[in-house]
Amino acid sequence: GNSVTQMEGPVTLSEEAFLTINCTYTATGYPSLFWYVQYPGEGLQLLLKATKADDKGSNKGFEATYRKETTSFHLEKGSVQVSDSAVYFCALSEGTYKYIFGTGTRLKVLA
């Protein structure tokens, strides 16, 4: 069945460092791909999405490109801030396999 695999955390970075959180997926067709973020004490919210191959989703300085050939959707940010500390979830949605999430990656940014 469909699944999402994320890199294990926690990831600890200094402010202004470059961030990459890896995400790969397994799907039978052409899923939509998402990154959701859960800030401390808050509910999950959509960060960005891409709905077809080679699309790039972007928001708040974060980017992710839908790579069909490597079945990946890695999250990147050029310069992280303390306020980016959160748990990041990669997800896919295809057919009746609605919104399958990865296990989440905790990011901690130090000042």
* Interaction site with another protein (CB under 8 A): 6, 31-32, 36, 42-46, 49, 51, 89, 93-104
Cβ nearer to another protein, comparing 19 with 104: 104
- Nearest-approach distance from CB 36 to another protein, in angstroms: 8
Pick 17 or 87: Cβ nearer another protein: 87
Please list, in sequence order, all residues whose beta carbon lies within 8 angstroms of the beta carbon of residue 102, skipping any fewer than 6 positions away: 4, 5, 6, 23, 89, 90, 91
Q: Peptide bond preceding 10: is omega within 30 degrees of 0, i.e. cis? A: yes
Nearer to another protein, 32 or 85 (CB): 32
Give the CA radius of gyration of the chain: 13
We find the least distance from the C-beta atom of residue 52 to another protein, in angstroms, to be: 9
Phi (first) and psi of residue 59, to 5 degrees? -175, 135
